[in-house]
Structure 1
């Protein structure tokens, strides 16, 4: 899959600037489809050229003019067709950190512990961000009310997946730290 469909899906939320889209990616899509701002801007240009999105310029007084992007009807149809297709292959995890853990037996145990503690900190930070997004999405409703009444539940369902993943990352890191602690040489 290309970045194209992730950008189109993000625009289902409504009109957004490139900057706003990069924030959407940081908060809700980066866990499963990361993109740099430069990649996003290049993709926005391609999507506009292909007629899948359109841009309008908003004049600003003290800042450079900004472009706001929206889905076209063609973009909505293409995104709908994409969403209806089964994935081409199962998800594959590519994580440099896991290679380091696989090779840890030859490394300094203190360094390995620091790497796991750093990953634990990242996971906890992501969980905290996800919980803030969750509260914003729910806006005073229960989860069941939101899932029953919201116009769109896709963002909440993907958020649930991110929360589950980071919760498991926290649990795994905590377990690894216990194991490493038990293996520490006695001085």
Structure 2
């Protein structure tokens, strides 16, 4: 998937500045697609040049002038074409998993520390995603939201992000417990 398609999808919620899009990416899209603000701004410029988005300048009284980007008809057609394509699942490419696979031949304590850091990272993301979920639901039950919301795609992708991070946290906890137990056995035998 290209950054272009993620930006087009984010603009379905309406016109936004590059700064607003970067915040939106961090709050919602980051659970499945990441980019730096520089990448985002470069992509917006390419998309504007390609006619997929329209940029308009907005003067602000106490802030610098900003550009607001909105989808064009060509951008909507490109996004529709993207949604019609087949989408293969991505493979996991994670250096931590390679380190875990080789842990007993290397520095088990460093691997355990890395797993602990991953667990803290996952738990922090779960907390952030839960806050976003609460804000999206806005007092409604999940079913009420799914029946009434104008767009449910952002919510469904948020659920996937939550599931992914919860699974990460569970895997980290299990892996740490196993490595601790094995280390205790080795220490007792040594």
TM-score bucket of the superposed structures, by smaller chain: over 0.9
- Between the aligned partners of 1:109 and 1:29, the Cα distance in structure 2 is 34
Stretches of structure 2 that go unaligned for 5 or more consecutive residues are: none
1:132 aligns with 131
- Between the aligned partners of 1:49 and 1:72, the Cα distance in structure 2 is 12
- Between the aligned partners of 1:148 and 1:108, the Cα distance in structure 2 is 51
2:56–2:69 CA contact under 8 A, matched in 1: yes
Structural mapping, 1:54-65, within 5 Å: 54-65=54-65
1:186 aligns with 187
- SS, match of residue 76 in structure 1: helix
1:105 aligns with 2:104: yes
RMSD: 1.2
1:62, distance to aligned residue in structure 2 (A) = 3.0
- Between the aligned partners of 2:95 and 2:64, the Cα distance in structure 1 is 39
Q: Deviations over 1:102-132 (max 9, x none)?
A: 2212222221111111000000000001001
- Between the aligned partners of 2:75 and 2:25, the Cα distance in structure 1 is 19
- SS, match of residue 57 in structure 2: strand
1:8 aligns with 8
1:164, distance to aligned residue in structure 2 (A) = 0.5
1:32 aligns with 2:15: no
Stretches of structure 1 that go unaligned for 5 or more consecutive residues are: none
- SS, match of residue 30 in structure 1: helix
1:90, distance to aligned residue in structure 2 (A) = 2.5
- Between the aligned partners of 1:62 and 1:155, the Cα distance in structure 2 is 32
2:31–2:158 CA contact under 8 A, matched in 1: no
1:146 aligns with 145
- Give the paired residue count: 186
- TM-score, length-scaled by structure 1: 0.95
- Between the aligned partners of 1:110 and 1:95, the Cα distance in structure 2 is 19
Q: Deviations over 1:11-52 (max 9, x none)?
A: 011111111111111121122211111110000001101111
- SS, match of residue 67 in structure 1: strand
1:93, distance to aligned residue in structure 2 (A) = 1.7
Moved beyond 6 Å, runs of 4+:
none
- SS, match of residue 187 in structure 2: coil
